[in-house]
Chains A and B, each alone.
Chain A
Amino acid sequence: QMQLVQSGAEVKKPGASVKVSCKASGNTFTSYHIHWVRQAPGQGLEWMGMITPGNGATYYTQKFQGRVTMTRDTSTSTVFMDLSSLRSEDTAIYYCASEKSATYYFDFWGQGTLVTVSS
């Protein structure tokens, strides 16, 4: 089964960017989609977008288009989520989650990365 290990907590100032990594192991990285989901303190889950490591294709929800970039490094089975122009409302736990191609659900989740945006 897939294991996803994310990078550690980050503290950023408003206007800065943050890059969170998600390293996959245990299954064929390139036959999955990797999704990013965030959760603000005390709030619900919010889907941000996805990347297909096999070909690098990305899909971002409209809310984050222009501010988010998802990339991958197939040599290390790692995907990255870069969020720019940070504001206080971006303070959240960011999760990566895997979807085996065309199964339409997120089967394995990373442990989450807390990003705090504060001046």
Chain B
Amino acid sequence: QTVVTQEPSFSVSPGGTVTLTCGLSSGSVSPSNYPTWYQQTPGQAPRTLIYNTATRSSGVPDRFSGSILGNKAALTITGAQTDDESDYYCVLNMSGGGYVFGGGTKLSVL
């Protein structure tokens, strides 16, 4: 059973930079996993931030960026704003087919 790992929580100061990561319980995340990042606020459906590792979805501010760092996918927020306080989920496409979400990271901006 593949497990996708994320930090359960993270805190950043307004204006600061934070990097959230998305790993695999066994193995490395690669571009062929098509890492995607979603932002979710309470009571709302998820919103696509980054897809295909590093492509920003339409309308997403350029303070959000995606990359591969070492053996993990990463979401970096540069110049965090209070509006960025949300849950962030990554999801990976698995070589055998199907998708697996990470457990999500609750980001606090304070």
Report A's interface with B, CB cutoff 8 A: 35, 37, 44-47, 49, 59, 61, 95, 97, 103-107, 109-112
Contact = CB atoms under 8 A, between A and B. Distances in A.
25 contacts: A37-B46, A44-B87, A44-B89, A44-B101, A44-B102, A44-B104, A45-B38, A45-B89, A47-B91, A47-B99, A47-B100, A47-B101, A49-B98, A59-B97, A59-B98, A61-B98, A106-B38, A106-B46, A107-B48, A107-B51, A107-B57, A109-B45, A109-B46, A110-B45, A112-B45
What are the 10 tightest A-B residue pairs by CB atom distance, in nearest-first order? A104-B34, A105-B51, A109-B45, A105-B36, A44-B104, A47-B99, A45-B101, A44-B103, A104-B93, A45-B89
Contact of B36 (A46, A95, A106): A106
Interface in B64-87: 87
B90 to A, nearest CB: 10
What does DSSP make chain B's interface, helix, strand, loop or mixed?
strand
A112 B42 CA distance: 13
Contact of A105 (B52, B97, B101, B102): B52
A45 B104 contact: yes
A103 to B, nearest CB: 7
A45 B97 contact: no
Given A44-B87, A45-B40, A105-B91, 14 more contacts: A44-B101, A44-B102, A45-B91, A45-B104, A61-B98, A95-B46, A103-B52, A104-B52, A104-B93, A105-B34, A106-B36, A106-B46, A107-B51, A110-B45
